[in-house]
Amino acid sequence: MSENTQVQLPLDIKGILDLLPHRYPFILVDRILAYEKGQTITGLKNVSMGEPYFQGHFPGEPVMPGVLILEGMAQVASVLAFLSLDAIQGKLVFFAGMDNVRFRKVVYPGDQLILKLVFTKQKRNIIKMSGKAYVEDVLVTEADLIAAFN
């Protein structure tokens, strides 16, 4: 997005799909609730029993896979990058690493994940962000994410 583009919050799924290349069944953010260019972003993911991964994770005890929580955080981080950095426009963003990952609580169908990311560093085509995921104000996952774009 250009410097003069205004972001209308909340940014709905249509706006998110305009920014991210992800599509069903791998879009893991439903709405952007808050955003400060180059600084922070807050996204929302409604966790639904209708999601395909619950068929096998786990039958009789559905639990959202932790790696998908991290992917949701990465998608929200990508939205922040696309809204903040001119150099990233038209490029793909890829996971390059993650550090300090902690899964604190289990996430179930019916939960609403609030994904909060803070921009910490950029060096050339590498971006670092710190993220936390919450359900009802309880920390469920945290990680430092590293992404590369080219």
CATH of domain 13-149: 3.10.129.10
Residues annotated catalytic, as ranges: 57
Q: What is the mean pLDDT of residues 84-92?
A: 93
| pLDDT tens profile 96-142 | 999 999 999 999 999 999 999 999 999 999 999 999 999 999 999 99
Average pLDDT, the chain: 95
User: From CA 43, how far away is CA 30, in angstroms rounded?
Assistant: 7
Q: What is the mean pLDDT of residues 66-93?
A: 96
Residue 4: the pLDDT is 46
Is 129 in contact with 116 (CB distance < 8 Å)? Answer: no
User: From CA 42, how far away is CA 116, in angstroms rounded?
Assistant: 4
Q: Of 96, 67, 66, which is closest to residue 81 (Cα–Cα)?
A: 96
CB atoms within 10 A of CB 150: 8
- Indicate the DSSP class of residue 17: H
Is 10 in contact with 26 (CB distance < 8 Å)? Answer: no
Q: Where in the chain are the domains?
A: 13-149
